[in-house]
Amino acid sequence: MTAASTSSTVSAANTGAGDHFGFLDAFAKRELRRASFKALCIPGYQVPYASREMPIARGFGTGGLQLSLSLLTPEDTLKVIDQGADDSVNAVNLRRFILATCPGVAATTRTTAASVIQTRHRIPETPLHAGQIMVYQVPFPDPLQIIEPSEAKRRRMHAEVDYARLLVRLYEDLVRFREVAITNRYPARVAGRYVIDPSPIPRWDLPKLNRSHAIHLFGAGREKKIYAVPPMTTVEPLAFSDVPFQVEAFTDDEGGRHRCARCGAGDSYLDEIVLPDGGRRWQCNDQDHCDSHREESLR
């Protein structure tokens, strides 16, 4: 065998040679797959991985993008949302990039039709089903980051289930504001062990993680961490026995609940929109939910 042929044989070794799908090289994908696998084995634990350079800047969803690219197959239907919208700049660009590098993958805005949903800051209002995988873009994966700057110390705290200072932080909020003032990234305990940062989803979305039918994978590209919540796994927001966790109420001046001005829904997470005349308007944050609800009400 010549030196050249030896070299070609070696370079063919498990490189996924012969076809290219999903932008990342086979070694990068395999590392992401190993990290995702271990993340599902240890629910809530942040598995380190070598985050790759992507054609978008870190902080714009590279962790979620890498996870999606490692997961997708040509049979998949993809939905990408940013703050509940399918047509925001971040979502549109990520979707366009994925579709360009993953031939065969279909795109949808319908939550129910998607097999993989990449998201920034929201979980869809429509209940997820068992065939779906949620991929989260995560800016800060560690809930302890707000109280401990050293990663080495934070790793030890997670290892020792030492979340006392996090509870103190919640207590300080209660003392100062009479309520926990964390509006998003609310810390939650997974399967009774690790506390996670569920990415900047609002408190409204946190109960949807609890015993969800879907697989939830969290990718932090800049921080080089992947963690997961398997299906049918308990996810409990940190709270005190006498001060239960609460979601946003969206109450109006009369004590009733604001409804979506577009579709009339009274059961969704709402955006408050300030009008030019100084008035206020409330509208569903989840675009697909709003569209579906509107279509149903017009029928």
Which spans of this chain sit near other proteins (rule: CB under 8 A)? 8-10, 12-14, 16-22, 26-27, 29-31, 33-43, 45, 47-48, 70-73, 133, 155-156, 159-160, 190-191, 193-194, 211, 215, 228, 230-233
Q: Which CB, 213 or 280, lies closer to other proteins?
A: 213
Q: Which CB, 70 or 118, lies closer to other proteins?
A: 70
Smallest separation (angstroms) from other proteins to the CB of 31: 6
Q: Which CB, 59 or 127, lies closer to other proteins?
A: 127
Using left for φ > 0, alpha for ψ between -120 and 50, and beta otherwise, residue 18 falls in: left
Question: Hunting for tokens 């084995």 — which residue is that?
Answer: 41
Q: Are 51 and 222 in contact (CB under 8 A)?
A: yes
d(CA 207, CA 215): 15
Q: What residues does 80 pair with on adjacent strands?
A: 118
Name the active-site residue from 84, 102, 221, 284: 284
Smallest separation (angstroms) from other proteins to the CB of 114: 15
d(CA 165, CA 295): 47
Name the active-site residue from 44, 61, 84, 219: 44
**Helix locations, 205-251, DSSP H:** 206-209
Give how far the C-alpha of residue 209 lies from the chain's centroid of Cα atoms, to the nearest Å. 10
Q: Which CB, 37 or 240, lies closer to other proteins?
A: 37
Name the active-site residue from 219, 263, 264, 278: 263
Q: Which CB, 211 or 257, lies closer to other proteins?
A: 211
Smallest separation (angstroms) from other proteins to the CB of 7: 11
Give how far the C-alpha of residue 194 lies from the chain's centroid of Cα atoms, to the nearest Å. 17
- Checking 86-93 for CB contacts under 8 A at 24+ apart, the result is 86/287, 86/288, 87/287, 90/60, 90/61, 90/120, 91/120, 93/56
Smallest separation (angstroms) from other proteins to the CB of 20: 7
Smallest separation (angstroms) from other proteins to the CB of 5: 8
Report CA torsion sign: 138, 143, 144, 149.
positive
Beta-carbon neighbour count of residue 93 at 10 Å? 16
Q: Is 290 a catalytic residue?
A: yes
- Active-site positions read 44, 260, 263, 284, 290
